[in-house]
Amino acid sequence: MRSLVGPVPEPAERVSSALRRCSRAALGLSSATSGESASEVSLVHQVPETADLWIALPVADAATIGSVGLRARLEVLDEIVGGAAEGRCRRIVVVEGLLELPGVRAQRSTAGEIARDLPDPVLLDVGTGVALVRLRAERIVLTDDDGVTDIEPEDLATSGPDPFADLEGHWLDHLNDPRCQVVPRMALRVCRCLPAERPLLIGIDRAGADIELVGRDGRIHRERLPFAEACTTATELGTQLRLLAGGSRYPLDRAAIRP
């Protein structure tokens, strides 16, 4: 795992986090018989220490893969989960490579291994209505506010998701609540006076937070607020958010900033 440094997580880590959340994704399949087709993806799981991905597909779609594999293109939309900005897409990850279909027994065994790290009800249907297929990643492209970035499979293999990827939605729900004044206080770091519309917290990771403001011109502006120190625990994250809001390192009310 790479060291936790820098104001913004590296592109490979952002990709890994997007794949972990995988709020919406589609898999494009290419075959000589059926041509181009797209399948809805219900789960994506990165194989530890590799750039390969396990993908849950409907059995009928997986049946077209065959024994020799199939060229495929996975498109993942990393949408905001939690808070008033829920559903907005903040980055797109595209992974191209060879898709393989293991036997049913191997799929069920893999589903049990995945469930220990990423419990999901869809894994209960593996072998009946759902198939687990493996995508051998060859090309990975990230598109976000920083532009379009090619990610080396080796970089993704040695990276990992943000430590708060699974809990980010709970934090956004809590801090964007109108009764919570943490986000408006954070916004004062980048604007002299608050706009008429309440600022929104649209992202949290180990290195900082992203807020969205509507300027006097009516345009939406996104600002990055880096933490003074990278975080690995919820306690550390609460401390850094509190400091950005102009508070002290040690809270008087320890429950005030926890979701």
Compute CA distances 106 → 2, 89, 101, 127, 194, whole Å. Answer: 31, 34, 10, 10, 56
The structure tokens 């049946």 sit at: 63
Predicted pLDDT at 142: 97
pLDDT of residue 252: 57
CA-based nearest residue to 15, from 112, 158, 113: 158
- pLDDT surpassing 80 at residue 249: no
Half-sphere exposure at residue 119, Cβ-oriented, CA atoms within 13 angstroms: 1
> For the residues 164-177, what does the mean pLDDT come to?
92
- How confident is the model over 109-125, as a mean pLDDT? 94
Q: What is the pLDDT of residues 95-109, one digit of tens each?
A: 999 999 999 999 999
CB–CB of 70/30 below 8 Å? yes
197-216, pLDDT tens digit by residue?
889 999 999 999 999 988 77
pLDDT band for position 7 (50/70/90)? low
What pLDDT score does 4 carry? 40
Instruction: Give the rounded percent of residues in the chain with a pLDDT score beyond 90.
Output: 64
Residue 151 scores a pLDDT above 90: yes
Per the prediction, the chain carries an average pLDDT of 87
Residue 1's pLDDT band, with cuts at 50, 70 and 90, is very low
pLDDT score recorded for residue 26: 93
pLDDT at position 214 is 85
pLDDT of residue 2: 41
pLDDT at 133 over 80: yes
What is d(CA 144, CA 205) in angstroms, rounded to the nearest whole number? 15
DSSP alpha helix (H) spans, the chain: 11-21, 59-62, 104-117, 153-158, 168-175, 182-187, 234-244
| pLDDT attached to residue 82 | 79
- The larger pLDDT score, comparing residue 23 to residue 71, is at 71
What's the rounded mean pLDDT across residues 53-70? 90
Predicted confidence band of residue 42 (pLDDT cuts 50, 70, 90): confident
Which has the minimum average pLDDT: 61-70, 137-146, 225-234?
61-70
pLDDT tens figures, 224-240: 999 999 999 999 999 99
What is the per-residue DSSP string for 110-178? HHHHHHHHS--GGGGGBTTTEEEEEEEEEEEEEEETTEEEEE-HHHHHH----TTTTTHHHHHHHHTST
Task: Look at residue 137 and tell me whether its pLDDT is greater than 60.
Answer: yes
> Tokens 């687990």 sit at which residue?
132
The whole-number pLDDT of residue 126 equals 96
Residue 3 pLDDT exceeds 50: no
Q: Which of 67, 83, 45, 56 is nearest to 160 (CA)?
A: 45
